[in-house]
Amino acid sequence: MSTGFGGPVDDELYRTVADRLRAAGPTGVLPIVQSGDPVLRTPVAPYTGQLGDLLPRLAEVMRRTMHAAPGVGLAATQVGIGLALAVVEDRGNETDPRERTPLPFRLLVNPAYEPVEEEDGGAPRRVPFFEGCLSVEGWHALVARHHRVRLTAQDVDGAPVDEVLTGWPARIIQHETDHLHGELYLDHAVPRSLVSNANLVSLWGGAPDPAPVAAALGFEVP
């Protein structure tokens, strides 16, 4: 059996994922793997069609799981599946200084990114903001990410995706794609910036500006 992605269905993997989706029950929500599980540290296999007609169903269950958490992105490794798949979606917030523009829902297959120059032709740059992860419950840390990236991937039907994203959407893409390489956001964070979710809100108002946190906790903003 072949698929639009060019590769055959992996019958054993198909059955494993189908069983996992059935276990999600009527809510269609899967448990999210937490830090310490080896699956989060294992680079994934490229998706070539291993799941056949099961792929749209997996995308929907990942979407429901992401929303229930709640979050704005979820990689397949976070539900224990070692394939290059991730879902993203963010309604955005026009008043958010982190350039949180809307990011429509999509399944990204085999995503990759690279930094690109600024719209005014300036050199690629990084911006530091606090970031959390559904697989590291309860914590945030400061991470400097590329401000603009070129995303290349495929969609659920195998059609190519090639676009430039800026600000918070670019951060989401980098975070989820890094998961597929066995990386967590903490690998790229300023260690001294680690703060509980509760303190990030109660002490720093969500820290859209990391400078006051850096001054109080004694670290430099990268």
90: closest CA among 77, 74, 105, 75? 105
221: closest CA among 129, 93, 153, 156? 129
Which of 60, 119, 137, 176 is catalytic? The answer is 176
Any known ligand binding at 133? yes
Q: Report the distance separating Cα 158 and Cα 15, nearest Å.
A: 21
Omega into 208 within 30° of 0, i.e. cis? no
DSSP symbol at 132: E
DSSP symbol at 218: T
Q: Report the distance separating Cα 44 and Cα 56, nearest Å.
A: 19
- Say whether 119 is catalytic: no
Any known ligand binding at 181? no
**Longest C-alpha distance within the chain, in Å?**
59
Q: CA 9: distance to chain centroid?
A: 25
112: closest CA among 171, 63, 54, 153? 153
Q: Report the distance separating Cα 162 and Cα 46, nearest Å.
A: 18
Any known ligand binding at 179? yes
For residue 107 the two structure tokens come to: 């399944």
Annotated binding residues, written as ranges, equal 133, 175, 179
Annotated binding residues for Fe cation, written as ranges, equal 133, 175, 179
Active site members? 176
